[in-house]
A and B are shown apart, each in its own frame.
Chain A
Amino acid sequence: MMSLQSYLILAALLFSIGLAGALTRRNAVLVLVGIELMLNAANLNFIAFWRFGPHPEALTGILFALFSIGIAAAEAAVGLSLIIAIQRHYQTTSLDRVDSLKG
Chain B
Amino acid sequence: MHTGSLLLLVLTLGSAVAAMSLRNLVHCALCAAITFLCLAAYFLALSAEFVGFAQILVYVGAVAILIVIAILVTRDIAERGEPLVFKPWILGVGVAVLVAGSLVSAVTSSALARDPLPPAPTATVEAIGEKLMTHYVVPLEVIGLLLTVALLGAVLLARPQKEGGNRP
Given A17-B16, A33-B29, A37-B16, A96 and B46 contact (CB-CB distance below 8 Å): no
A84 contacts B118, C-beta separation under 8 Å: no
Does B157 contact A30, Cβ atoms closer than 8 Å?
Answer: no
**Chain B proximity of A5: nearest CB distance (Å):** 4
Contacting pair A66 B86 (CB below 8 A): no
* Size of interface on A: residues with Cβ below 8 Å to B: 71
CA of A94 to CA of B82 in the docked complex: distance in angstroms?
A: 10
B128 touches A63 (CB 8 A): yes
A81: B residues at CB distance < 8 A: 153-155, 157-158
Q: How far is the CB of A17 from chain B (nearest CB, A)?
A: 5
Beta-carbon contacts of A14-58 to B below 8 Å, as 1s and 0s? 111111110111110110111011001001100110111000110
The one of A48, A59, A85 in contact with B127, judged by C-beta atoms closer than 8 angstroms, is A59
In the complex, what's the smallest C-beta–C-beta distance from B129 to chain A, in angstroms? 10
Q: How far is the CB of A46 from chain B (nearest CB, A)?
A: 9
Q: A72-B63, A78-B154 are in contact. Are A93 and B115 (CB under 8 A)?
A: no
From A36, A44, A80, give the contact of B154 (CB < 8 A). A80
* A96 CB to nearest chain B CB (Å): 6
B9 near A88: Cβ-Cβ < 8 Å: no
Contact B99 A15 (CB under 8 A): yes
Scan residues 48-75 of chain B and give those whose CB is less than 8 A from a CB of chain A: 48, 50-51, 54-55, 58-59, 62-63, 66-67, 69-71, 73-74
Query: Which residues of B are at the interface with A, using a C-beta cutoff of 8 A?
Result: 1, 5, 9, 12-13, 16-17, 19-21, 25, 28-29, 32, 35-36, 39, 42-43, 45-48, 50-51, 54-55, 58-59, 62-63, 66-67, 69-71, 73-74, 76, 82-86, 89, 91-93, 95-97, 99-100, 103-104, 107-108, 112-115, 117-118, 120-121, 123, 127-128, 131-132, 136, 139, 143, 146-147, 150-151, 153-155, 157-158, 160-161
